Amino acid sequence: MNREKTEQEIREDLRKQFAALYGDAEGVRFFFAPGRVNLIGEHTDYNGGHVFPCALTIGTYAAARKREDDKIRFFSMNGKGNTFTEYRTDDLEPAGKSGWTMYPLGVVWAFAGRGMKLPSGFEMVIYGNIPGGSGLSSSASLEVLTGFVLKSLYGFSVDGVTLAQIGQYSENHYNGMNCGIMDQFASAMGKKDHAIFLDTADLSYTYAPVVLDGMKIVITNSKVKHQLTDSGYNDRRRSCEEALAELQKVVDIRALGDLTPERFEEVKSAIADEDRRRKAKHAVYENARTVRAVEALKEGDIPAFGRLMNESHVSLRDDYDVSCPEVDILAEEAWKIPGVLGARITGGGFGGCTVAIVRNEAVAEYQQTLSRVYRERTGIEAEFYVVDIGDGPREIV
């Protein structure tokens, strides 16, 4: 990471901004929810498959306080505006609303839909240190943060899994992004030094210690953000749903994640369209790769884990079609560097970041070589973050 502000510095910045906007900072409380990186299991979470993400130590911070009246006020220190956006507790419907405040407001709306209507308004200032559009789940961290703030300010009894479900529900139904549950789950349920092996078919999960002796997880940001991310994502999801419906005519499954690769090969001809068949193939094979990768990690076989990461990238590039030339350069050039065990695109795709496992002694070389090659081929300065795996949401005192 670049030199980041310390948590106490961020807290102090938020306090000052809060007081400047809302008159004073009497009784204000401070909160944090993390972003996430997915190690493997991409585009499997809306196909009833497995994912293997972990929470980061970067994320979104909030200063928040209840109000006596019905006003809800949001301000972001990352934005350009110099005043807050205001809503009312009895006007939460999405129609006519736009902008980033749709994320926290969607969570307020989803709480109300679950019988947790706010008895009064609140005011909030947020600050995020996840690079925007990087695929490291800044929006999920904002949703989980908002849910955690509401729970803490109003005393609602909501556990971490429910916070994740509320975040996903609001993103699907309020923000029109048909995402799965992985990002919100990773943010809400994160555990220091562990990745979460989540079966999205039934939300059963285990924590797997990420023990990488002599190696680091390195995220590389392509800084490419494609316009059609949401529509491309929703299209992929639709293709998978159509493929599932075709397969269900010949085999008794609830989701693509129910199929082994072997069984998929036997029944795949039921999918009429070649492109759709490739999309479904990715979902099935990626799920199997994720299960194998977690076994490899448990056995300490990091080279095997790395090879599965590489295979995941190839599948996302060629079959699922969610990579882009810039991110392909980052992954493919990484594979050539000695000491890199695996590298792949991470997150929803269409730009964003790669995640790689790199031997300690090769990290400097990895950064130098990739920076140079990436600059030569794209004119863009890549950014690198050595990952620390952090906990889920919390109050900062």
* Binding test (CB under 6 A) with ligand GLA, winner from 43, 50, 279, 282: 43
Nearer to ligand GLA, 183 or 258 (CB): 183
For residue 354, the SS3 value is strand
Strands (DSSP E) found in 300-376: 340-346, 351-359
Nearer to ligand GLA, 17 or 170 (CB): 170
Paired strand residues for 384 = 220
Q: Give the nearest distance from C-beta 290 to ligand GLA in angstroms.
A: 10
Among residue numbers 119 through 138, which ones bind ligand GLA (CB under 6 A)?
A: none
Which of these segments, 3-11, 39-47, 218-226, 260-268, binds ligand GLA (CB under 6 A)? 39-47
193 catalytic residue (yes or no): no
Is residue 281 a contact residue for ligand GLA (CB under 6 A)? Answer: no
What gap in Å lies between CA 255 and CA 264, rounded to an integer? Answer: 12
Nearer to ligand GLA, 85 or 229 (CB): 229
Phi, psi angles (nearest 5°) of residue 74: -125, 140
What gap in Å lies between CA 40 and CA 51, rounded to an integer? Answer: 6
- Tokens read off for 122: 């609140």
Q: Give the nearest distance from C-beta 238 to ligand GLA in angstroms.
A: 13
Residue among 208, 242, 162 nearest 41 (CA): 208
Nearer to ligand GLA, 11 or 43 (CB): 43
| Locus of tokens 């970041």 | 353
Nearer to ligand GLA, 36 or 73 (CB): 36
Is residue 258 a contact residue for ligand GLA (CB under 6 A)? Answer: no
Pair 256, 46: CB distance under 8 Å? no
The DSSP 8-state label assigned to residue 23 in this structure reads S
User: Cα separations (Å) of 259 from 190, 198, 247, 309, 311?
Assistant: 28, 17, 10, 20, 19
**The one catalytic residue among 45, 183, 199, 321:** 183
Is residue 42 a contact residue for ligand GLA (CB under 6 A)? Answer: yes
Among residue numbers 176 through 235, which ones bind ligand GLA (CB under 6 A)?
A: 179-180, 182-183
Which of these segments, 41-49, 78-86, 99-107, 381-389, binds ligand GLA (CB under 6 A)? 41-49
Nearer to ligand GLA, 122 or 305 (CB): 305
Nearer to ligand GLA, 84 or 205 (CB): 205
Q: Give the nearest distance from C-beta 236 to ligand GLA in angstroms.
A: 9
Which of these segments, 94-102, 174-182, 250-258, 385-393, binds ligand GLA (CB under 6 A)? 174-182
Residue among 107, 103, 17, 98 nearest 65 (CA): 17
What gap in Å lies between CA 312 and CA 316, rounded to an integer? Answer: 6
**Which residues, including other chains, have CB under 8 Å from residue 243's CB and lie 6 or more apart?**
256, 271, 276, 277, 279, 280
Q: Give the nearest distance from C-beta 183 to ligand GLA in angstroms.
A: 4
Strands (DSSP E) found in 239-382: 340-346, 351-359
- The string over 128-148, giving b where at least 16 C-beta atoms fall within 10 Å of a residue's C-beta and e elsewhere, is bbbbebbbbbbbbbbbbbbbb
Nearer to ligand GLA, 48 or 348 (CB): 348
The size of the interface with ligand GLA (CB under 6 A), counted in residues, is 10
User: How far is CA 377 from its chain centroid?
Assistant: 28
Amino acid type, 359: R
* Binding test (CB under 6 A) with ligand GLA, winner from 48, 167, 342, 347: 347
Q: Give the nearest distance from C-beta 355 to ligand GLA in angstroms.
A: 12
Which of these segments, 43-51, 189-197, 277-285, 366-374, binds ligand GLA (CB under 6 A)? 43-51
- Binding-site string for ligand GLA from residue 75 to residue 94, where x marks contact by CB under 6 A and - marks none: --------------------
* Binding test (CB under 6 A) with ligand GLA, winner from 11, 28, 34, 45: 45
Strands (DSSP E) found in the chain: 29-40, 50-66, 71-76, 85-88, 122-128, 194-199, 204-209, 215-225, 340-346, 351-359, 383-386, 394-396
Q: Give the nearest distance from C-beta 11 to ligand GLA in angstroms.
A: 28
Known catalytic residues are 183
Contacts with ligand GLA, residue ranges (CB under 6 A): 42-43, 45-46, 179-180, 182-183, 347-348
